[in-house]
Amino acid sequence: MDMSSYLAVGGWFIQVIFDKYLSYQLQSWAADCGISHEMNRLRVALLRTQSVLHGAEVTPSLSYGSLPWMRELRDVMYHAEDLLDKLEYNRLHHQMQESSSTESNSSPISAFMHSRFRNQGAQASGLEPHWDRSTRLKNQMVNLLERLEQVASGVSEALSLPRKPRHSRYSIMTSSVAHGEIFGRESEIQQLVSTLLSSQVDGDNPVSVASIVGVGGVGKTALAQHVYNNTRVAQYFDMRMWICVTDAFDESRITREMLESVSSSRFRHDSITNFNRLQVALRARLVSKRFLLVLDDVWSNDKITLAIEHENWQKLLSPLKAAANGSKILLTTRSSMVAEMLQSAHINNLECLSDKDCWSLIKMIVFDDTNHLINSQLANIGSEIAKTLNGLPLAAKVVARQLKCKHTTDKWKQVLQRNAVWDEIMPIFQHSYENLPVHLQQCLAYCSIFPKDWEFEAEQLILMWMAQGYVYPDGCRRMEDIGKQYVDELCSRSFFAIQKKQFVSYYVMPPVIHKLAKSVSAEECFRIGGDEQRRIPSSVRHLSIHLDSLSMLDETIPYMNLRTLIFFTSRMVAPINISIPQVVLDNLQSLRVLDLSPCKIDRLPDSIRQCVHLRYLNISSTAINMLPEYLDIGSLRYLQRLPIFKVTSEETNSIIQLGYLQELRGSLHIRNLENIDAPDEAKEAMLCKKVNLTMLQLMWAPARDLVNSDKEAEVLEYLQPHPNLKRLDIIGWMGVKAPSWLESKWLINLELIFLSGCNAWEQLPPLGQLPSVRTIWLQRLKTVRQIGLEVYGNRSSHVAFQSLEELVLDDMQELNEWSWTGQEMMNLRNIVIKDCQKLKELPPLPPSLTELTIAKKGFWVPYHHDVKMTQLTTVTTVSSLCIFNCPKLLARFSSPVTNGVVASFQSLRSLIVDHMRILTCHLLRERLEHIENLDIQDCSEITTFTADNEDVFLHLRSLQSLCISGCNNLQSLPSSLSSLESLDKLILWNCPELELLPDEQLPLSLRKLEVALCNPVLKDRLRKECGVDWPKIAHIPWVEIDGEILQ
């Protein structure tokens, strides 16, 4: 972290302390404890320090010797926050005791809690009697003040010393191409050239915008240069302009450079300083001319300045509207927000190069020829060097300069081992980091504790940021929504990339950004395991540990300062039995985040009782069934993340404990609710006051005897959630009638409801009244016999199910009737039905329907096999169809009766089947040429593809994605695969007998190949460079075999 970042983070830290801790309530309580004088001294010291830091921020140069003092200041701020956090904890605990005492006469449960906290809670949480606590807090405050005042004085003195000039990190880029050939960008070049030569006009504006977006060093400028100098492009435009913008936006400079680019004399306009006159002159030059303007390296700092910059850009570019139709602006930027601000009609998100293309670029620069013959040793070393560059052309160019005059294996090995390329290019990424708002700097740096290429979910990451205090309140907005905005902003600036797997979005840091995050957080964040070799710094605050590296933990690590402790293992590995060293567990007093999810442990460590700052605790996937007796989870008042709470008859695991955790947010799964002794206990959980919960799962144990249905009904009535809830699961409940809050419009924000195993529930509640519900999933409701008018509610005031998009009926064994009038569910897009043995027909399907799943049993959610074919005649909009394990339905599809139903599938684009016979039936044969996505799953009858099957593939002219999975006897692939000219992705999964590819090369259009859990012989044949079948797939940019990315 450099000086400017220290200044920004230091000022942010002080402001957080002011806003969060120096409140009227805490100051009043501090006065009661006899430390009001010390609190005032702290306020004054912080104000002085803040003033010094603000003064230094406006000075565009750095101080010699100030960094050590800034590190000291950061450490003092951490200690100040810990102490004030503990002070606030004591205040809340005191307030809770007084509240319990006041209510003890009116509520026997409150009286019980009051006695427990009075007798046991203080010992469990490390609290002392009031007078001892006051003395200790006063001493700690005095020590903190002495250190803060000393450090503040040192910072002030250091910042007044002689300054070191700040040097620009920029080299101005021009339209000239440094290296004539460009690698791995053929499709991007073709696409951009086609866009620039397009004559399409957007309304009355003759100018359209195209953007190239990507991380620094990925080759945006090189691509723009190549397109700019393309012969067809040069001939198409009357005028071309190249402007390097950078983050120093100067409207007069940019306008003057545009004017000079289209003028015969450069010096004619130097004397014009008036911006308006420059614009008038530029407009005159562009009238009726078709131009190309490249704006290279355009920046924006945040969303607030973006709005201002939008107006500035509109004013700057207004003279361009005088040009001829077909004029274009080509923009390069690291931020998709900038591309959207300038209303880009075409956005090219530039990905990193393959290792192969990086090596080709290196060879071109080193030898001036990609086909230059070099000895095999140099080639092998060069290939290994290319793999370390994370696909960045800039890194390839830097390393190529290092290799150019060193054509010996020893010299090249030195370059490989030293890996010094990052020292030269990291300042470019550092500049991007420094342009982030300080809260995003903190959030990004924190992500360095994740392993390289780690896929994380936004919700989990946001909760961790919140636990550290990085997400700053903004009016009445939910903290989770603010955190999601942070994630979106980092995505738009190319610091995060989004990956979707099985319909779930994950976020990944590009490798070079992960290096950047490690660089800027080196003093505070550390990861044990993997390729990390450096010594653990004494200043570390956030630590992640791979379970294979537990032996590296020792007493030299300052555990008492840790704010984060996360254990990692591979996502494909089940929880591992471990023994966490006691030296770690005994010193976690400052911890905010603790993630034990990959650890196969059956109890929490005793030291958890000391973690009064803990806000995020993840014990999902562990074997922990109950909380320890010494721990009242309710005493962790700041706890924000508690994914699972298991109710037992033990006092410490009573549902009452949840009543004191008002900061809980995100998801909460409450298990074993049958262990609630008295319904009033459920009321004390106060779920209706947990405004930040978005997902709630209420679960009772299955297969219970002698259930008191009246008691269960009363318990669920008291478990009423807050209206902010977005998802509700009710599992195993044995009441007969729905709670009142589910029969009303209380849950106005609910988007998904899942009801499962509620076997006494005879009549469904009026779910149609829930205005925001998008998904309803009903599973194993064994006594529900009909879906009738009662489920729609009072339809006189509104349309029932006005937001419903997806309906799943899963294993509803007694359901025999489903009716509606046709006015409901007008937005329904997806119907999925599974094992509804007695359901004989459907109501008329709505015209909005786009996905239909028909199966009896299996992975893909199912549908009864005796459904009448005539009911499919209305399904003209279905684009996705799944037919799974339905032999009788398959027979009907193949019969002549279906001829009139063919038109029903005129929109079909995606098909999932478990039998090849489905593809050859007349009903679907007519639609094969339009299918874009085909999944063939669990076809155990296939060993090889018959002539009819081969013919099917010849008809799949539009197929873009093909997945063949779970075909246990499949030995070979169709030879007609090579004819699929549109195929983009091929997935082969869990076909244990599959040993080889077809004789022909796989389609040249393929961009992604994934092979997993197939025969080991096939894996060996696909080995990179040396496998027998490698030449058939060498042209594919992305090849992944059993989780290993080969290229």
pLDDT, tens digit, for every residue of 503-554? 567 899 988 889 899 988 888 999 988 656 567 888 899 999 888 777 777 6
248 and 326, same domain (yes or no): yes
Per-residue pLDDT for 1041 more than 50? yes
Strands (E), 600-653: 616-618, 644-646
Is the confidence at residue 362, as pLDDT, over 60? yes
Q: What pLDDT score does 169 carry?
A: 47
Section 602-623 average pLDDT:
81
Identify whether residues 610 and 707 lie together within a single domain.
Answer: no
Highest mean pLDDT among 144-158, 638-652, 730-744: 730-744
What does the pLDDT read at residue 870? 45
Judged on CB neighbours under 10 Å (0-12, 13-18, 19+), 1045 is exposed
What burial class does residue 1034 get, using C-beta atoms within 10 Å of its C-beta: 0-12 exposed, 13-18 middle, 19+ buried?
Answer: middle
Which residue type, as a one-letter code, is found at position 839? L
Residue 140: name the closest of 128, 156, 124 by CA: 128
Last residue of one domain, picked from the residues 380, 395, 427: 427
Structure tokens at 326: 């077909």
Bridge-based pairing state of the strands 1044-1045 and 1038-1041: antiparallel
pLDDT of residue 892: 53
Q: What sign for the dihedral angle of Cα 758, 762, 768, 770?
A: negative
Residue 528's φ and ψ, nearest 5 degrees, are -95, 120
The predicted-structure confidence for 229-269, as pLDDT tens digits, reads as follows 999 999 999 999 999 887 667 888 889 889 888 887 655 66
Domain with 594, as residue range(s), is 530-536+545-641
Closest among 234, 235, 291 to 262, alpha carbons compared: 291
Verify that 377 and 440 share a domain, yes or no: no
Least confident piece of the model among 40-54, 479-493, 799-813: 40-54
Residues 196 and 324 in one domain: yes
| 331 strand-pairing partners | 211, 295
Q: Final residue of a domain: which of 703, 726, 761?
A: 761
Contacts of 870 (CB under 8 A, 6+ apart): 901
Residues 475-496 pLDDT 10s: 778 888 899 999 999 998 889 9
What number is the average pLDDT over the span 265-279?
Answer: 75
**Phi and psi (nearest 5°) for 670?**
-105, 115
pLDDT digits (tens, 9 = 90+) for 368-382: 766 667 788 888 888
Least confident of 233-247, 268-282, 768-782, 982-996: 268-282
> Residue 817: which pLDDT band, with cuts at 50, 70 and 90?
confident
The answer to whether residue 699 is domain-embedded is: yes
In this structure, the answer to whether residues 107 and 255 fall within a common structural domain is no
Mean pLDDT of 1032-1047: 86
| Same domain for 136 and 45 | yes
Say which CATH number the domain at 452 has: 1.10.10.10
Choose one of 761, 783, 812: the last residue of a domain: 761
Rounded CA gap, 486 and 784, in Å? 45
Cα end-to-end span (Å), the chain = 33
Q: In whole angstroms, what is the distance from residue 73 CA to residue 75 CA?
A: 5
Position 253 in a domain? yes
Quote the pTM value. 0.66
What average pLDDT does range 445-470 have in this prediction?
90
Hey, is 506 helix, strand or coil?
strand
Q: Which of 799, 851, 843, 850 is nearest to 825 (CA)?
A: 799
State how far the Cα of 256 lies from the Cα of 273, in Å rounded to an integer. 9
SS3 49: helix
Evaluate if residue 34 carries a pLDDT over 90.
no
Contact (Cβ atoms closer than 8 angstroms) between residue 943 and residue 916: no
Is 319 found in the same domain as 210?
A: yes
Residue 179 has pLDDT above 80, yes or no: no
pLDDT one-digit tens code per residue, 186-217: 889 988 999 999 887 766 788 999 999 988 88
- H-helix or E-strand spanning residue 528: strand 525-528
Q: How far is Cα 518 from Cα 530, in angstroms, rounded to an integer? A: 14
21/40 same-domain check:
yes
34-59 average pLDDT score: 76
Task: Tell me which residue has tokens 């009001």.
Answer: 36
Half-sphere exposure of 636 (CA within 13 A, CB side): 27
pLDDT in tens, 943-962: 888 887 888 888 888 899 99
DSSP H helical ranges for 390-478: 393-403, 409-418, 421-434, 438-446, 458-468
Say if 734 falls within a structural domain. yes
Strands ordered across the beta sheet of 616-618? 525-528, 542-546, 564-568, 593-595, 616-618
Query: Which amino acid belongs to residue 92?
Result: L
How does residue 586 score in pLDDT terms, banded at 50, 70 and 90? confident
**Cα 491 to Cα 149, 351, 498, 850, 887, distances in angstroms:** 40, 14, 8, 30, 47
Kind plus residue range of the DSSP H or E element containing 376: helix 376-387
Q: What is the CA radius of gyration of the chain?
A: 33
- Do both 302 and 415 map to the same domain? no
- DSSP 3-state of 851: strand
26 found inside a domain: yes
Least confident stretch, 5-14, 101-110, 953-962: 101-110
In whole angstroms, what is the distance from residue 645 CA to residue 654 CA? 10
Residue 41's CB is within 10 A of a number of other CB atoms, namely 18
Residue 240's CATH number: 3.40.50.300
CA–CA separation, 640 vs 627, rounded Å? 17
Say if 808 falls within a structural domain: no
- Considering the domain architecture, whether residues 333 and 213 belong to the same structural domain is answered as yes
What pLDDT shows up at residue 629? 64
pLDDT (tens digit per residue) in 126-143 = 445 555 666 777 888 888
Inter-residue contact 759 to 736 (CB < 8 Å): no
Residue type present at position 895:
S
With cut-offs at 50, 70 and 90, classify the pLDDT of residue 174.
low
Q: For 867-916, what is each residue's pLDDT tens digit? A: 444 455 455 667 777 776 665 555 555 555 444 444 456 778 888 887 76
Condensed to tens digits (0 to 9), the pLDDT of residues 312-339 reads: 888 889 999 999 999 999 999 988 888 8
Mean pLDDT of 828-856: 78
Q: Read off the amino acid at residue 779.
A: Q
3-state secondary structure of 163: strand
Residue 115 has what pLDDT?
A: 42
Same domain (yes/no): 949, 1022:
yes
Query: What DSSP line would sit under 975-1025, residue for residue?
Result: GGGGG-TT--EEEEES-TT-----SSPPPTT--EEEEESS-HHHHHHT-TT
pLDDT band at 669 (very low <50, low <70, confident <90, very high): very high
Whether 233 and 310 share a structural domain: yes
Q: Which residue has the tokens 């107006």?
A: 311
Q: Which of 100-114, 445-459, 787-801, 905-919 has the least mean pLDDT?
A: 100-114
If you average pLDDT over every residue of the chain, what do you get? 80
Rounded distance between C-alpha atoms, residue 797 and residue 775, angstroms: 22
Q: DSSP character for 202? A: B
- Predicted local distance difference test score (pLDDT) of residue 108: 37
For position 126, what pLDDT does the model report?
47
Select the more confidently predicted residue: 759 or 302. 759
Classify residue 487: in a domain, yes or no. Answer: yes
Spell out the alpha helix ranges (H) of 477-575: 479-492, 511-520
The answer to the question of residue 593 being in a domain is yes
Report pLDDT for 379. 87
Taking the C-alpha atoms of residue 596 and residue 791, their distance in angstroms, rounded to an integer, is: 42
For residue 410, tell me if it sits in a domain: yes
> How far is it between the farthest Cα atoms of the chain?
96
Position 43 confidence tier, pLDDT thresholds 50, 70, 90: confident
pLDDT tens by residue, 718-757: 999 999 999 999 999 998 888 999 877 789 999 999 999 9
Helix (H), strand (E) at residue 807: strand 806-810
Query: Distance between CA 342 and CA 329 in Å, rounded?
Result: 10
Whole-number pLDDT of residue 237? 94
Q: How confident is the model at residue 178 (pLDDT cuts 50, 70, 90)?
A: low
Number of domains in the chain: 7
